[in-house]
Structure 1
Amino acid sequence: MPIYLDGHSTTPLAPESMEAMAPWWHAQAGNPHSPHLRGMLASQAVEGARSDIASLVGADPQELVFTSGATEANNIALRGTALAALEAGIDRREIVVSAIEHKSVLASAGSLRSAGFRIIEAPVDVNGVIDIPALERLVSDRTLLVSVMAVNNEVGSIQPLADVIRVSRAARALVHVDAAQAVGKLALDCAEFDLASLSSHKMYGPMGIGALFVSAASQLRPLPVLFGGSQEAGIRPGTLPTPLIVGFGMAAKVSRTRLGADAAHSRNLSVLFLEELRSRQVQFVESVFEQNRVPGSLSLRFPGNDAMSIISRSGDRIAISEGSACTSGQITASYVLLRMGFTQKEASETVRLYFSRYNSEADATEAAVVLSEIVGR
C-alpha cells in the first residue's frame, strides 16, 4: 500500500478506536435511546465518550451535540444561529468569516443572504493567517457572528484565535470556530468560544461522526436545521451511532495523553522530509512559514510541475493531495491559495502533505525519494 500522507483529509483510524468500537457493531448493539438493558448500556457508552471528548477540548459534556461530522456542525452553527437570531428579534444582520474558511462554512453563510444577512469575508495574509486589523474594521455592532477556523484544512495555517475573540467580544458578537483540523493536534479550550465544530476522522477516530460545541454561557442557542425527534438537546435529531461515538471518544482519550508527543513526532518528520528534499537538490517553495502552521503539515509548490501530475505519478508509492478542488468534473485552482495571493499557475503547482502519528522516519525519507524522482532537480 502507498505511504499515507493525506492527513488533512482524514487521519488513519487509531487501533484503540477500532478495538473499542468492535462490540458495539454486534455483540453489544443497542439503540442508546431505548429503555431496555442494551439501550441503557449503549447510552452509558455514548455518555462516556461524550465526557472523553469534552475533556480533550475543555468543555462540559452537556455542551457537546453529536453530528455526522464537522460539515453538519458548521451548518448548524451558522444557519442555526442565524435562525435563532431572527426568531429572537435580534437586529444584527452581518456574519463575518475568514476568506479561507472550509466550504461548508462559506456555503452555509452564503445561503443566509436570502434571509437578509450580509456576509463579509475577512482577508488573510500570504501565510493564510487572518488579517486582524482588517477584522477589526469589519466587525461592528451589526455583526451577529464571527466564524474563523482554528487551522486551515489546505495549508495548515494556525489562526490567532485570541485576537479573533478579543475583536468579536468588543463588538458583542458571537464566536464560532471550525476546529476540525486542530482537535487532536493542538491544545484547544472551547470555553473561550460560543460554538466550535469538531470532526472525528481528523483526529484518528472513525468517519461519519463529529460534534458541535454549544457554550452553556452563550447568549444565543442555535435552532435545529434538521427536524425529527428531540435527541441531542433538541438541536440535532436522529438515532445516535453508538459504535462511531465510542470510537470518537476513544480517539479523544488517546489524543489527550499524546498531544505533545504527537506534535513533536509530526514536526520532526516534516523537518526530516524537507531536509531530504534539499539534499536531493529538489526545488520547492513552502506556502506557509513553519511557525505559522500546525506541526506535520506541509503545503509545497514545485515550480514547473503540475500538482495533479505529481499526485498521479506518485500514487502507487505515496498518497498525497493537491491544493485544488474538483467541481462538476473540472479542476479549479484552490480558492485558499488564490486568496493567499498565489497566481493560478502557482496554485496548480502546489501539493499538501501531513505527517501523522502513524508515519515513520522511513516514510518521510521514502516520500522525499519519490518526489525527487518525479519533479526533478
Structure 2
Amino acid sequence: MPIYLDGHSTTPLAPEAMEAMAPWWHAQVGNPHSPHLSGMLASQAVETARAELASLIGSDPQELVFTSGATEANNIAIRGIALAALESGVGRRDIVVSAIEHKSVLSSARSLRSAGFRIIEAPVDVNGIVDISALERLVSTETLLVSVMAVNNEVGSIQPLDQVVRMARAAGALVHVDAAQGAGKLPLDLAEVDLASLSSHKMYGPMGIGALFISSAAPLRPLPVFFGGGQEAGIRPGTVPTPLVVGFGAAAKISRERLKADAAHSAGLSALFLEELRSRQVQFIENVSVPQRVSGSLSLRFPGNDAMSIIARAGDRISISEGSACTSGQITASHVLLEMGFTHHEAAETVRLYFSRYNTEPDATDAAVVLSEIVGR
C-alpha cells in the first residue's frame, strides 16, 4: 500500500471509530426514529455521539444537526438562512464569503443571485488569509451572512475567525464557518458564531456523515432545503444512519482527547519531511508559512515540475493530491492558489500533503526519498 498523505481529502478511519460502528451494521439495526426497543437503543447511541461531537466544539448537543457531510451542511447553512430571511421579511441581501472557500460554499452562495442576493467575495493575502481590511469594507448593514472557513482545505491556512466575528457582529450580520478542516485539528470555540459545518471523515471518522451547528442564540435559523419526515429538528429530514453517527461520535471523542498530541505529531512529521527534502537538495517552495497553516499541512510548489505528473509517478508509493479533491478530474487551476496570487503555471506546479495521526517518521522520510527521485535536484 502507498503511504497515504492526502489527509486534507480524507483522513484514515480511526480504529476506535471502526470498533464503535461494528455492532450497528449487523447486530443492532434499529431505526433511531422508531419507538420499539431496538429503535430506542439506536436513538440513545445517536444522542451519545451527538454529545461527544458537542464536547469537541463546545456546543450544546441540541445545537447539532446531522447531515450527509460538510457539503450538505454548507448548503443548508447558506441557502437555508437566505430562505429564512426571505420568509421572515429580513431585508438584508448581501452575503459575504472569502474568495477561497470550498466550492460547496461558493456555489451555494452564487446560486442565490437569482433570488435577489448579492454575493461578495473577499480577497485573501499571499498566505491564503482573508484580508481583514478588505472584509471590513465589504461588510455593511446590508450584509445578511458572512461565511469564512476555519482552515482552508487546499493550503491549510488558518483564518482569523475572532476578527471576522467581531466585524460581522458590528454590522449585525450572521456568521457561518466551514469548520470541516479545523474541527479535530485545532481548538475551536464556536460559541460566538451562528452556524458551523463539520465533516466526519476529516477527523478520522467514517465518510458520509457530517453535522451543522446552529447556535440557539442565532437570531435567524435556516429553513430546510429539502423535505421529508421532519427528523433532526426539521432541518435535515431522512433516517439518521446510526453506524455512521456512532463512528463520528467516537472519532470526535478521540480527536478531543488527542488534540494537542496530534498537532505536535503532525507538525513534527511535516518538519522532518521538509528537512529530508532539503538534505537531498530538492528545490521547493512552501506556499504558506508555518505560523499561518494548520499542523501537518503542506502546500508545496516544485518549480519546473508538473503536479499531475508528480502525483501520477508517485501514485504507487505515496498518495498525494493537487488542488481540491472535490474538483479532481478537472484540469483547471486551483481557485485558491489563483486568489492567493499564483499564476496558472505556478498553480500547476503545486501539490498538497497532510501528515496525519497515523503517519510515522519512516513515512516522512520515505515520502521525501520518493519525491526527490521524481522531481530531481
Q: Distance in 2 between matches of 1:181 and 1:62?
A: 22
Tell me the equivalent position of 1:274. Answer: 274
Deviation per CA, 1:171-192: give whole Å up to 9, x if none: 0100000000001100011111
Letter in 2 for 1:64: L
Letter in 2 for 1:340: M
Q: Distance in 1 between matches of 2:159 and 2:43?
A: 36
Letter in 2 for 1:279: S
**Matched residue SS, 2:236:** coil
Tell me the equivalent position of 1:245. Answer: 245
Q: CA deviation at 1:272?
A: 0.2
Letter in 1 for 2:310: I
Deviation per CA, 1:77-134: give whole Å up to 9, x if none: 0000000000000010000000000000000000000000000000000000000000
Tell me the equivalent position of 2:21. Answer: 21
**Matched residue SS, 1:351:** strand
Tell me the equivalent position of 2:4. Answer: 4
Tell me the equivalent position of 2:229. Answer: 229
Q: CA deviation at 1:369?
A: 0.2
With over 3 angstroms needed to count, the CA separation of the structure-2 counterparts of 1:344 and 1:324, relative to structure 1, is farther
The answer to whether the 8 Å contact 2:45/2:242 transfers is yes
The answer to whether the 8 Å contact 2:132/2:163 transfers is yes
Tell me the equivalent position of 2:295. Answer: 295
Tell me the equivalent position of 1:187. Answer: 187
Match status 1:357 vs 2:353 = no
Letter in 1 for 2:237: P
The answer to whether the 8 Å contact 1:325/1:331 transfers is no
**Matched residue SS, 1:156:** coil
Q: CA deviation at 1:324?
A: 5.9
Any unmatched runs of 5+ in structure 1? none
**Matched residue SS, 2:13:** coil
**Identity of counterpart residues, as a percentage?**
82
Tell me the equivalent position of 1:32. Answer: 32
Q: CA deviation at 1:212?
A: 0.1
Deviation per CA, 1:47-77: give whole Å up to 9, x if none: 0000000000000000000000000000000
The answer to whether the 8 Å contact 1:338/1:344 transfers is yes
The answer to whether the 8 Å contact 2:9/2:325 transfers is no
The answer to whether the 8 Å contact 2:174/2:194 transfers is yes
Q: Distance in 2 between matches of 1:367 and 1:117?
A: 47
Q: CA deviation at 1:326?
A: 8.2
Q: Distance in 2 between matches of 1:196 and 1:11?
A: 20
Q: Distance in 1 between matches of 2:324 and 2:340?
A: 14
Q: CA deviation at 1:329?
A: 5.5
The answer to whether the 8 Å contact 2:127/2:288 transfers is yes
Tell me the equivalent position of 1:319. Answer: 319
Tell me the equivalent position of 1:203. Answer: 203
Deviation per CA, 1:301-327: give whole Å up to 9, x if none: 000000000000000000000126786
Tell me the equivalent position of 1:159. Answer: 159
Quote the RMSD (CA, aligned, Å).
Answer: 1.0
With over 3 angstroms needed to count, the CA separation of the structure-2 counterparts of 1:329 and 1:188, relative to structure 1, is closer
**Matched residue SS, 1:240:** coil
With over 3 angstroms needed to count, the CA separation of the structure-2 counterparts of 1:87 and 1:10, relative to structure 1, is same
Q: CA deviation at 1:221?
A: 0.3
With over 3 angstroms needed to count, the CA separation of the structure-2 counterparts of 1:141 and 1:319, relative to structure 1, is same
**Matched residue SS, 1:42:** helix
With over 3 angstroms needed to count, the CA separation of the structure-2 counterparts of 1:8 and 1:328, relative to structure 1, is closer
Tell me the equivalent position of 2:45. Answer: 45
Q: Distance in 2 between matches of 1:151 and 1:297?
A: 10
Q: Map 1:5-154 to 2 at 5 A.
A: 5-154=5-154
Q: Distance in 2 between matches of 1:64 and 1:304?
A: 47
Q: Distance in 2 between matches of 1:265 and 1:237?
A: 39
Q: Map 1:304-315 to 2 at 5 A.
A: 304-315=304-315
The answer to whether the 8 Å contact 2:93/2:116 transfers is yes
The answer to whether the 8 Å contact 2:154/2:324 transfers is no
Q: CA deviation at 1:288?
A: 0.2
**Matched residue SS, 2:258:** helix
With over 3 angstroms needed to count, the CA separation of the structure-2 counterparts of 1:311 and 1:266, relative to structure 1, is same
Q: Distance in 1 between matches of 2:344 and 2:136?
A: 29
The answer to whether the 8 Å contact 1:64/1:212 transfers is yes
Q: Distance in 2 between matches of 1:319 and 1:212?
A: 30
Q: Distance in 2 between matches of 1:138 and 1:118?
A: 11
TM-score by length of 2: 0.99
Letter in 1 for 2:347: A
With over 3 angstroms needed to count, the CA separation of the structure-2 counterparts of 1:367 and 1:47, relative to structure 1, is same
With over 3 angstroms needed to count, the CA separation of the structure-2 counterparts of 1:41 and 1:328, relative to structure 1, is closer
Q: Distance in 2 between matches of 1:369 and 1:30?
A: 50
**Matched residue SS, 2:367:** helix
Letter in 2 for 1:263: A
Q: Distance in 1 between matches of 2:155 and 2:161?
A: 17
Letter in 2 for 1:231: Q
Q: Distance in 1 between matches of 2:366 and 2:178?
A: 33
The answer to whether the 8 Å contact 2:153/2:324 transfers is no
The answer to whether the 8 Å contact 2:59/2:190 transfers is yes
Q: Distance in 1 between matches of 2:267 and 2:32?
A: 40
Q: Distance in 2 between matches of 1:356 and 1:86?
A: 43
Q: CA deviation at 1:342?
A: 0.2
Q: CA deviation at 1:374?
A: 0.2
